[in-house]
Structure 1
Amino acid sequence: MDAGNCSWGSVFILEGLTDKPGLQLPLFLLFLLIYVASVAGNLGLVLLIRLSSPLHTPMYYFLCHLSFIDLCYSSVIIPKMLVNFVSERNLSSFPECMAQLFFFCFFGIDDSYMLAAMAYDRYVAICRPLLYHATMARGARLLLVAGVYAAGTFGALVHTSYISRRSFCGTNVIHHYFCDILPLLAISCSRDYSKERWVMVLVGFNVFACALAIVVSYAFIAASVLRIRSAEGRAKAFSTCSSHLAAVGVFYGSIVFMYFKPSAEDTTQEKVASVFYTTVIPMLNPLIYSLRNKDVREALKNILRGGTLPE
């Protein structure tokens, strides 16, 4: 059956996080608070890095892009979720659903590769300090960031193109709170399991390639730090990496649980896992990097005091 005959005019019903009416308002207020905190934190961190010249370093250049990605990432999911909490029926047209899927994949993949780029930055800073500024010159940083966005574009186009060619002629109820790959595949009536395997291979490659790059980078970092004789030097080196490791652990842990665990009929656990990497992590990242980072705290204090930002 031609997917175009019954898909592009389809209207999906998003099951949402819960079907209990008594929880709709509390959840609306909770996720509104999360979204406000995410926007304020990420936008504030982007502006702080842009305005504070002491933060014009390669590490904060990548952090600025990570905050921008997190800001956009949460904006793809949460506003639609908030509307659904106060609507009688959680409807999403096929083009709207595909647009949400594209940008969800784009910013999600960007997030993963940006964390890998930041791990590489920390590896060079700690293991090759004399070559750091040469290795992380402006041209190299631009190339790394361009590669991150290129990977996101490619992955999003592949996933969205594949899903958009499926037929959805049976149930139109998506057992999720947004248009994600697995919930959409679950209700497709024209599934091609051989091609689906390649889609999941691409998901696995993006996750594990970035995770492997991060693990290898931090293995070299750990070996280098352990060779530092002074306890103070080791503590300082580890402190520059602890924030990044905290963000990486929560992000990849929730994604692996969502996409690589055995499938189950009960989707509650999958929804909870996806809440972490779509809404909670974009909110937590600015807090993790600001509260645990002395340079960011000092720059923020300087602005709040109304002082001039040092060159």
Structure 2
Amino acid sequence: MSNTFLRPSSTTTRKRQVSSHEFNTKSLRKFVETVVDDEVSQRLIPILSTAAANNTVLDLQDILQRFAFDNICKIAFGHDPAYLLPDLPETEFAKNFDDAAKISSGRFATLLPFLWKIKRFLNIGSEKRLKEACSYLREFARNIIKEKKQELSNKPSLETVDLLTRFLSSGHSDEDFVTDIVISFILAGRDTTSAALTWYFWLLSQNPEIEKEILREIKDKSESPVYEEVKDMVYTHASLCESMRLYPPVPIDGKVALRDDVLPDGTVIKKGMRVLYHPYAMGRLEMLWGPDWEEFKPDRWLQRAGDGVSNDGKWSFVGRDQ
């Protein structure tokens, strides 16, 4: 298969390269740790503890989506939408983001694609709402960018600053480009994080022995620095991978061919064709995962010493291809 098949656009590739570079810095990693720790200790745990004490039923996916949204907004551009508060408020930014995401994704599900194009042309219905939501989000982002540029001249250090400030201080002055990066970052991380965590906690509730093993590992590693603590939690890592094998946060994904090509099995792909792949189905194939594919087994992702992976008798994480 040629290297050009289904390649992301140059703009998308550039965004990913910029984001990857920024996330490799130790100071940003520390900043992320601080943001997430504060959100967990100051907001998530108090809400869950109160609900448990009062025997209150919560919509866990909604709570985790709020949790992810707050975290990503703080990390991406230093803005706290305060979406995960005890009264579970509706915020203008979150509402517009939700509307834009739902309407955009709805375009792909419609049986009559020309309808949304007509509505867009006439600026009516859902397309009018999409235009309003996108305008609000971009204006909101531009105002934050202006504020960040102003702040940069007074910042002596970048030890605990958000991703947007890092982009701007690195010379990325194109406001549209930076705005696209920030919005794409939020879009990619918010729903996927909450969906993955919701299924994960549901699976743990159905598998108490696995839950006990995870709790044991957390207690054993709790004295380590945060990054080292998480890095060494191989069983917890394996259980997350196993959860996402069964319930991937993006169950179907697709790409568009940049030019004509041929798949390894001989399938001819023409320029502009959309090609979909199905992680949900791939994670449930018996030929890949064995006859026990439907079982939640973190051990699939682990090996002990003597298996050619480590020499200390401990579990080691081993990645698996689908």
Q: TM-score, normalised by structure 2?
A: 0.28
Greater RCO (CA < 8 Å, at least 6 residues apart): 1
Q: TM-score, normalised by structure 1?
A: 0.29
